[in-house]
Structure 1
Amino acid sequence: MATPMPEHPLPTAPEEDRTLSPHTGYTRAHWEATGDRLLAAALRYATPGHALIDLPGPPSQSGVRSDGLEGFARTFLLAAFRTAGASGKDPHGFLERYTAGVARGTRTPGRDDAESWPEIGHHGIQGQPMVESASVALALRLTTPWTWDTLPAADQDRVEQWLRGALRHTPAPNNWYLFPLTVAGFLESVGRGDAETRGAIDRALGLLDGWYQGQGWYSDGDGRSFDHYNGWALHFYPLLHAHLTGDRALLDRLGPRLREFLEGFALLFDANGAPIHHGRSLTYRFAAVTAVALGALTGETPLDPGVTRRILSGGLRHFVDRGAPTADGLLGLGWYGPHEATLQRYSGPGSPYWASKGFLSLLIPADDPVWTVTEGSAPVEGADRVLALPAPGLLVQTTGGDGLARLHNHGSYKLDSREPERAPGNPLYARLAYSTRTGPTGAANAADNHVALSARGLRSARVRIHPLGAGRDWLASWHRPVFPAGGPVFPSARIESLTLARGRFELRVHRTVGVPVGTPVHHSGWAVAVSPGAVPEVQEGSEVRLDGAEVTSQLVGLHGWETQCVVRAPQGTAYGAWALVPELTGVVGAGAEVESEGEGTVFVALASLTGEEGAAPLAGQVGVEVSGLVVAVRWGDGVRTVVDFGGGVGGAVGACGLSVTEESV
């Protein structure tokens, strides 16, 4: 473990201002103080020449030296936002140390000594330094007068030579192409541009256009990977480059995409400030607010200034109040505390400091209305809302009574077109739903928010998700059930799933197609973090209810489900070390007079996740009639919803003629 160098006491937070910020109490001064605290703590672990920051914790797959560069680069970006936002004022002398580190690290790259940075290689072959080169380049670009311009010409040449390694090696086939763009943008900004830098920029922007799917959402490379990288990478790097360059044409091209993205994304922050818990790299935490800050900085936002600050400060304070950073000022791996299932193999001790991107907010001038007007209500605190986003295949559901946001996934998965589907799938993408107050269970535990077949003692996984249909308040998709090694292969099988959101309720309809009659089917609801001794409630009438500290999870079978139970998840979630999951079980073809594997079997359930105390039972909230592949649901207010899977399975897989209609009766 790295040993910290003695330093001055960590900066303390200023007093809350509940007049200017009635919801969070945070002002711009709180952002500055938090940034100072993070930097002061991290710099205690710098090497003598300041070139590496060896933070405590288990190393990543890239090795200790790459991790040291990562710790340096990501905190350098934070120092850049902090000082550039203060017009170069640097009372703690942060930039002096980072400037020295840049010069020392690039003096003899690749050498096995105490200070030299690793050289930049191809993705998969010493590629992690390419990621960090973007943070170094962007930090230098933001602080050029106080860092780059103070370096001797020979040092500048060596820094340039190291950075150009990012332009001469192959990135991963996703957002990594934006790292060379960022490096090239810096080099051009200091008069060192050429055909190589222009080529890197044009290449990245061309790929970005190809990844754009609409409604403000980019896929992260080939496939349908939609997650927080959309905000903190795919919008962030190119649009900030356009802003810093003053490229009006590029701003006009990319800006409206960010504006449209924020219309939906702003709903994915809880009233308590938490971002949606979905997708990889969640250890970056309050980097989730980056796109909100970028919208305010560039003027490409649909949000009022007070609402912008509410989301920004709410996101920061949410984690500060829950122990990230820790008492010693460091950001550790995990969510609130350590949580192995939240991490990826590439995560190392310096990885959490991509949270620094959230401090982009400090580039918004201090006299901007974002900082000076009264803090507004969060978008989630308004009336109950359901927003369908067919482009990424995501359904947003919010309830103003508890300030909770939920994301139903019918289109996002982390797999490109060349990769095979393998069980158990990625819990951070494979689930049917995610929220701002719950996390998925680990891959080795019972899966929450999942539908699975059971065969040979094994359960199937949901890996590649294919959009099937969309409406105002619903989305549908299908997937091929994939079993772990030793399980069967059902060549023509698929499971079609529909989620319709209404208030706090989630109507979940599944149809099995091409599945052998008699095959067990399992459907689970929201996992709730509880104490190991908690006793779940299973009510008569098939409802399962789990009461946690902040949320209540409910699940009831309406059609096709025969039994209900609660299963344990001893690995817990990011919200607690132990969790329970409600589950329903049925059988394909059970109860049908005539069953055809081609036509399929329909299962219907009602789920709810709420933060309101004393939530009413789900049983009796809706009435359901099922006739073949037609599901008619009558809600308590008299509205009738009809889901018709069509019955026709000819043509392409998934072309089943699904329709959803609604009428008042």
Structure 2
Amino acid sequence: MDPFSLRRPFIANPLKTKDDLASYLVNLLNPLEAHTSPGGARIHLGHTATHYDEAAAQLEGFSRPIWGLASLLAGGGHYSGAQRWVDGYANGTNPDHAEFWGNMRSKDQRMVECSAIGFSLAVAKGELWDRMSKEAQKNFEDWLGGMNDKEMPNTNWLWFRVFANLGLSKVGSPRYDAKRMKADMDHLDTFYIGEGWSRDGPEGVVQLDYYSSSFAIQFAQLVYSKLAQDEDPKRCEEYRNRARRFAQDFVHYFDPEGRAIPFGRSMTYRFAMSSFWGALAFADVELPAPLTWGVVKGLQLRNIRYWLKQPGAYYSDGTMTIGYCYPNLNMTENYNSPGSPYWCCKSFITLSLPTSHPFWASPEEPYPTSLLGTVAPLYKPLHIASNLGGHTFILSSGQQCSYPVKQSAAKYGKFAYSSAFGYSVPTGALTLEELSADNALALSDDQGETWKCRRETREARIEDGKWLHSMWYPWKGVEVETWLVPPAQEAPLWHLRVHRVKTGRELTSAEGGFAIHGQREDGRALEPAPEGLIGTYEQSGEARATSSAGVSGVADLRSGGEREAKVIRTDANSNLIVARAVLPTLVAVYDPGEHWLVTAVFAVPSREGENVPPDGWQNEWKKRPVIPAELAKLF
């Protein structure tokens, strides 16, 4: 037996019932005890730093598990360690205690953690608030209400103050500021852009990632619609309507095995990605077809099961790592503390529901069959989603982070993002191996010394529901026009990229497909192998890698062998899902002028538990996607 599994008692958890989910939560909460301060107010899980202070980082470790704890207690569950958090509330908000969290300032990280705290007061008052002394309650409400006169970022952060006030209102605190909460709500509603989607900020912000859904906005709207129904019925109904519409798009970001498509920032929040589905149940939303409670239950539980099975998501003591499928600081943001991953505890919100609720009472159903084998344009986020051929991924254009975020070009600017293969982030900028430019066209104007990929996209649009079109400008005097064409039934494992590059200088280009696990079954690196076998394959204009994870390849459809095909062994720890990856890539050098690049990209993942590519992939590889006539005539 793997000795590590002994430290993960949940490894055999089938995660089918409410009791199973509660058991998994308890197995996440228990290891935190050894890292909790004597007064209960701080949880210290590691020594890596953030842009904010250490007291706020340890408050984060304390607060984020509360999403799960409060839901468990609200649903009639019991946790023997709940007193640690009751003590923490009292001591963390006591200015005279050594573990005082510190008063809030404008744009303070402490504001973020008020979201879970406010939620806990609203749903588990009897189990948390009522167990505190009157003096402790007074300190607590003074501390929490202290954010009402502070400046906040003009983003989803405003929801954190809404939740603080919502909690204060539910415990009858005089520090509840109804006027402040309404003003925040009215402003947050200006982020709404239609079809269920909200920006993560004001006009001009084009981030529509998981913060627009499970990490923040949609989740918050749904929880608010349940807790504030009596006081704000019109707005609450509007939020439920938005969720119904949004769900019809959001379902395309999940695959039949339960994985969500990694895209954007804060990927270390892991199964918080699926918390929207639990929030739908919490808010008792009337579901749109083809969604049923059995389908929603499956979407949520399969996603959590996936993360339960990822050994790299946990340290040997059962606490969670910073990273995605394994510890990885390359892909993190400077606001990710060791406690950040526990934002995933939002997905335990269904523990607050009785077993009679249709979410728990309905038999789990698979991914909707009507959505399998489809291609769906998603107009607000400027994505085209596809699960043709058993591969769930999105083509992407038009998004970029509105403020500096580490690796933002990788998180928002790539051409495609996959549930099976994830995405890669650079470990450096001096070689293609460091760049790890999967699903990107990397350009260099210094003979490969440094590289740029698409970061800021302009004039992005979905044309006639068929493909994505965008412009991007890596340097002055260089412009790239890109069309992304989704798979078609005739060649379901291929998508197409067309680029028109206009340059006033010599450029080197490198275009990558999907990064894929780069090891053989014996653990050694993939080696060149005959066509169709496990290994790498390179020939004129074509490169491919085959491993236990599936098959990834690229083919040059235009230059007649001008682009060199190679399989690059990317730097370790660059890909979110696998620590050792390889990347089929096409490389060329171009003189000043106009150049057309036409790239066919092939990918098929192995099915869950099989560790071999699906039968018939060799025949699919021999096919090539057809260049649409409207694009071909531009050449």
Where on the TM-score scale, by shorter chain, does this alignment land: which range? 0.7 to 0.9
Q: Say whether the 8 Å CA contact 1:437–1:551 is kept in structure 2.
A: no
Select the residue among 13, 33, 37 that pairs with 2:27: 37
Shift of 1:383: 2.9
Output aligned runs, 1:614-653, within 5 Å.
614=615, 615-616=617-618, 620-622=622-624, 632-633=627-628, 642-643=630-631
Report the more deviating stretch, 559-568 or 352-361. 559-568
Q: Does 1:186 align with 2:164?
A: no
Tell me what 2:576 maps to. Answer: 574
One-letter amino acid matched to 1:34:
Y
Question: 1:156–1:31: structure 2 CA closer, same or farther, 3 Å change rule?
Answer: same
Shift of 1:499: 2.8
Tell me what 1:294 maps to. Answer: 279
Cα-to-partner distance string for 1:235-271 (whole Å, 9 max, x where unaligned): 1123312211213211221112111221121222223
Select the residue among 194, 198, 222 that pairs with 1:239: 222
One-letter amino acid matched to 1:331:
M
Aligned residues: 588
* TM-score for both structures, normalised by structure 1: 0.82
Tell me what 1:330 maps to. Answer: 319
Shift of 1:529: 2.2
Tell me what 2:451 maps to. Answer: 459
Select the residue among 318, 329, 341 that pairs with 2:306: 318
Tell me what 1:468 maps to. Answer: 460
Q: What is the CA–CA distance in structure 2 between the aligned matches of 1:589 and 1:507, rounded to whole Å?
A: 27
One-letter amino acid matched to 1:117:
W
One-letter amino acid matched to 2:194:
G
1:374 partner SS:
coil
One-letter amino acid matched to 1:105:
G
Q: Say whether the 8 Å CA contact 2:437–2:511 is kept in structure 1.
A: no
Tell me what 1:250 maps to. Answer: 235
Structure 1 unaligned residues grouped into runs of 5+: 1-8, 17-23, 483-488, 591-596, 625-631, 634-640, 648-665
Two-structure CA RMSD over aligned residues (Å): 2.8
1:576 partner SS:
coil
Q: What is the CA–CA distance in structure 2 between the aligned matches of 1:542 and 1:166, rounded to whole Å?
A: 59
2:157 partner SS:
helix
Cα-to-partner distance string for 1:493-530 (whole Å, 9 max, x where unaligned): 23333232325334333333542375343321111121
Tell me what 1:207 maps to. Answer: 187
Cα-to-partner distance string for 1:526-578 (whole Å, 9 max, x where unaligned): 11121362125334452211113222112111113622222221134122222
2:630 partner SS:
strand
Tell me what 2:439 maps to. Answer: 449
Q: What is the CA–CA distance in structure 1 between the aligned matches of 2:187 and 2:325, rounded to whole Å?
A: 35
Q: Say whether the 8 Å CA contact 1:74–1:356 is kept in structure 2.
A: yes
Q: Say whether the 8 Å CA contact 2:377–2:385 is kept in structure 1.
A: yes
Report the more deviating stretch, 545-554 or 473-482. 473-482
One-letter amino acid matched to 2:599:
A
Report the more deviating stretch, 466-475 or 306-315. 466-475
Q: Say whether the 8 Å CA contact 1:461–1:481 is kept in structure 2.
A: no
Question: 1:529–1:619: structure 2 CA closer, same or farther, 3 Å change rule?
Answer: closer
One-letter amino acid matched to 1:605:
T
Q: What is the CA–CA distance in structure 2 between the aligned matches of 1:350 and 1:171, rounded to whole Å?
A: 22
Cα-to-partner distance string for 1:209-246 (whole Å, 9 max, x where unaligned): 22222332222114111211122201112331221121
1:494 partner SS:
strand
Cα-to-partner distance string for 1:313-362 (whole Å, 9 max, x where unaligned): 11111111112345533112112220122311111111111111010121
Tell me what 1:663 maps to. Answer: none
1:260 partner SS:
helix
Select the residue among 482, 487, 505 that pairs with 1:501: 487
Q: Does 1:119 align with 2:118?
A: no
Structure 2 unaligned residues grouped into runs of 5+: 1-5, 429-433, 528-534, 606-612
Shift of 1:481: 3.3
One-letter amino acid matched to 2:89:
V
One-letter amino acid matched to 1:475:
W
Shift of 1:587: 5.3
How much identity, in percent, do the aligned residues show? 23
Q: What is the CA–CA distance in structure 1 between the aligned matches of 2:114 and 2:384, rounded to whole Å?
A: 36
Tell me what 1:638 maps to. Answer: none
Tell me what 1:552 maps to. Answer: 551
Q: What is the CA–CA distance in structure 1 between the aligned matches of 2:146 and 2:558, rounded to whole Å?
A: 59
Q: Say whether the 8 Å CA contact 2:268–2:324 is kept in structure 1.
A: yes
Q: Does 1:61 align with 2:47?
A: no
One-letter amino acid matched to 2:201:
G
Output aligned runs, 1:15-34, within 5 Å.
26-34=16-24
Output aligned runs, 1:250-649, within 5 Å.
250-300=235-285, 301-302=287-288, 303-323=291-311, 324-379=313-368, 383-399=372-388, 402=390, 404-416=391-403, 425-443=408-426, 444=428, 445=434, 446-457=436-447, 458-471=450-463, 474-482=466-474, 489-491=475-477, 493-503=479-489, 504-512=492-500, 514-516=502-504, 519-531=507-519, 533-535=525-527, 536-540=535-539, 542-560=541-559, 562-563=562-563, 564-571=565-572, 572-586=574-588, 600-611=594-605, 612-614=613-615, 615-616=617-618, 620-622=622-624, 632-633=627-628, 642-643=630-631
Shift of 1:617: 5.6
Cα-to-partner distance string for 1:342-398 (whole Å, 9 max, x where unaligned): 311111111111111010121232112221222111237953111111211111111
1:577 partner SS:
coil
Shift of 1:424: 6.8
Shift of 1:409: 1.1
Select the residue among 92, 95, 101 that pairs with 2:88: 101
2:453 partner SS:
coil
Q: What is the CA–CA distance in structure 1 between the aligned matches of 2:468 and 2:514, rounded to whole Å?
A: 19
Q: What is the CA–CA distance in structure 2 between the aligned matches of 1:261 and 1:588, rounded to whole Å?
A: 43
Tell me what 1:73 maps to. Answer: 63
Q: What is the CA–CA distance in structure 2 between the aligned matches of 1:310 and 1:155, rounded to whole Å?
A: 42
